[in-house]
Amino acid sequence: MHSRRTVLTTAAAAAAAAALGDGPAHAVGPRPAAPSPSPARPPSPATLDRLRRIVARMTPEEKVGQLFVMRVYGHSATAPDPADAAANRKEIGVADAAELIARYRVGGIIYFNWAHNTRDPHQIADLSNGIQEAAAALRVPVPVLISTDQEHGIVARIGAPATLFPGAMALGASGSREDARTAGRIAGQELFAMGIRQDYAPDADVNVNPANPVIGVRSFGADPQAVSRMVAAQVEGYQGAGVAACAKHFPGHGDTDTDSHVGLPYIHHSAQEWERLDAPPFRAAIAAGIDAIMTAHIVVPAFDPSGDPATLSRPILTGILRERLGFDGVVVTDSLGMEGVREKYGDARVPVLALLAGADQLLNPPDLPVAYRAVLQSLADGELSERDIDAKLLRILLLKERRGLFADPYTTHRAVDRVVGTRGHLAVADRIADRTTTLLRNDGGVLPLSRRREGRVLVVGADAAAPSGSGGPPTKVLAQALNGLGFTATALPTGMAPTRAQIDRATAALAERDAVVVATYNVTASSPQRDLVGALLATGKPVVQLAVRNPYDIAQLDGVGVALASYSWTDVELRAAARVIAGRRDPAGRLPVAIMRADAPETALYQIGHGLKY
């Protein structure tokens, strides 16, 4: 089933690849404040010798610690809130980031909003500096590689006042490599200013499965060549700003209907299908000089019949990624706390197997003491060789050297104020967003709405939780944006599973309005959102349906005559959608994925490249 759908989707992708193009070049903001050396430039013999001397000074305990990238609760490296200190003691056995570094010599720390690491840009910068100060105090001082997941769109650990850009699928809808490069460059500048030198982005998965629950709009689209162009552009943008990019999730997470956070997905592509569908974006990332590639907790029987996930598979990580694709950068696992990698082996065995498979960095194990001791014991027993550990460590140190951490790992409030969330950056984000909104259907020319005919607008629908600091909820943001454009708009959230009472309230409110915008979120055949849309259509008032996550909703909504896709519910994309609805901008986005018919899933309702204009 997977293979047949994939072939059909790929045929549609090939037919429309030319329609996606590159898009025009556009004016951008200031150049990076701290550009790094070219990632393609090999290290000098002197650099290699200096880093090897650092490795030679380390004890086995220090070497093993450098392989881990760990979470830690708190807004400060040494004085977290009591609740955060308690969480650290419970999960890690230390009170704060400084103790984590002193005890385990971890080589990396990953920031999360839920771990209270990302309250505001000045605080983030101070936390980063505190972490580096703790590392500088070690017997063998090695700067920490601080990272986060700032994909933009639906995955953003750092919110406003930092600049938030449209996510990957929205950028894919723009078709502009220059926009993708610019978004990566500005995002990289802002991360760099906050002391973050690695972003786990871009997503290099090719989303050929509309039912994919974990990738979806995190992917640039379903056409491998178009995705490859966008991935390479983002790598150039991030790394040109001094921040290590990380393509994920190798060997490709785009054709699954299981979320690897909660289960173990299987990818049933043949070797030939993988080469055609999944490999191109990773090849493009490697050609662009990417610093790191993240593994996927997925089983690919065509490459490894053992049933082991790719993260633990030597045939995949070493045989394919290292040997066939020629990648010599850092291989980092996806989070080792995800169920997809924990199903088959225990938490002590997983990190050892990942290193044996070819991984260099172990990301966020659920129990660091257990994982750390297991790797040390495996090294002592000879299962892991010191020579192999040294090679992994050298790759990690080369990445840190390339990103300037040995020269100067610190930042300042002045750097933050000069770069983060500037008026120029925010304006660029809005201009990029204006090229992403996609008009799928406009029967009767209802759009753009007229202030004279449809001046009183009701905004209803899904109010998904917005990424940290990105604003929301969607109905409120849309209503505010339309009000700012001269309409009289009222928000009435009805949620992702509206009740009969909520539906009745919405239809009653529409009686006093001229038109309604309904925000839909991943509508399925059994979703109550279908009942809401049907009730709104039955009033006879103009109904504008806006898909605020995956663009496939229209296939489930019979009778809808006006449909748009924003690819996310973040403020920057919703404001852009409002400008399209109001006629202040023409819809410029074109579908980067095919939308298949609900009643005939092998037939495209809309092909890749579809997008109407006014």
What residue segments make up the domains of the chain, in order of their start?
2-419, 437-587
* 331 strand-pairing partners: 293
Three-state DSSP class for 460?
strand
| Number of residues that make up the chain | 614
Closest CA to 52 of 409, 391, 355: 391
Three-state DSSP class for 596?
strand
CA–CA gap between residue 491 and residue 479 (Å, rounded): 6
Question: Percent of the chain beyond pLDDT 70?
Answer: 91
Q: pLDDT tens, 178-210? A: 999 999 999 999 999 999 999 999 999 999 988
Tell me which of 259, 261, 417, 531 is the catalytic residue: 261
**530 pLDDT higher than 60:** yes
* pTM confidence score: 0.91
Which amino acid type is present at position 456? R
CA–CA gap between residue 572 and residue 466 (Å, rounded): 12
Which CATH number fits the domain 437-587, given the four candidates 3.40.50.300, 3.40.50.1700, 3.60.21.10, 3.30.70.20? 3.40.50.1700
595 vs 249, 353, 544, 564, 565, CA distance in Å? 23, 39, 18, 13, 12
Residues 397 and 54: beta-carbon distance below 8 Å: yes
**Residue spans of beta strands (DSSP E) within 509-558:** 515-520, 543-547
Rg for the chain, CA atoms, rounded: 24
Average pLDDT, the chain: 91
Q: What is the mean pLDDT of residues 515-528?
A: 96
* 111 strand-pairing partners: 148
Three-state DSSP class for 195?
coil
Helix (H) or strand (E) holding 430: helix 423-433
Please give the pLDDT value at position 210.
85
Q: pLDDT tens, 8-65? A: 333 333 333 333 333 333 333 333 344 433 445 788 999 999 999 999 999 999 999 9
CATH, range 2-419: 3.20.20.300
**Residue spans of beta strands (DSSP E) within 138-219:** 145-148, 150-152, 155-156, 198-199
Q: pLDDT tens, 169-178? A: 999 999 999 9
Closest CA to 17 of 593, 427, 508, 606: 593
Active site residue 334: yes
CA–CA gap between residue 273 and residue 476 (Å, rounded): 44
Exposure string of 236-258, with b = 16+ CB inside 10 Å and e = fewer, is: bbbbbbbbbbbbbbbbbbbbbeb
**409 pLDDT higher than 80:** yes
CA–CA gap between residue 154 and residue 314 (Å, rounded): 32
Q: How far does Cα 177 stand from its chain's mean position? A: 17
The pLDDT-based confidence of 609 (bands split at 50, 70, 90) is very high
Which amino acid type is present at position 67? L
Which amino acid type is present at position 407? A
* 293 strand-pairing partners: 247, 331
Q: pLDDT tens, 449-508? A: 999 999 999 999 988 665 545 566 899 999 999 999 999 999 999 999 999 999 999 999
**DSSP secondary structure, 25-56, as one string:** -----PPPSSPPPPTTSPPPHHHHHHHHHHHH
**165 pLDDT higher than 60:** yes
Q: How far does Cα 336 stand from its chain's mean position? A: 18
Please give the pLDDT value at position 255.
81
* 146 strand-pairing partners: 109
Q: pLDDT tens, 424-465? A: 999 999 999 999 999 999 999 999 999 999 999 999 998 866
Q: pLDDT tens, 120-158? A: 999 999 999 999 999 999 999 999 999 999 999 999 999
Tell me which of 223, 334, 434, 514 is the catalytic residue: 334
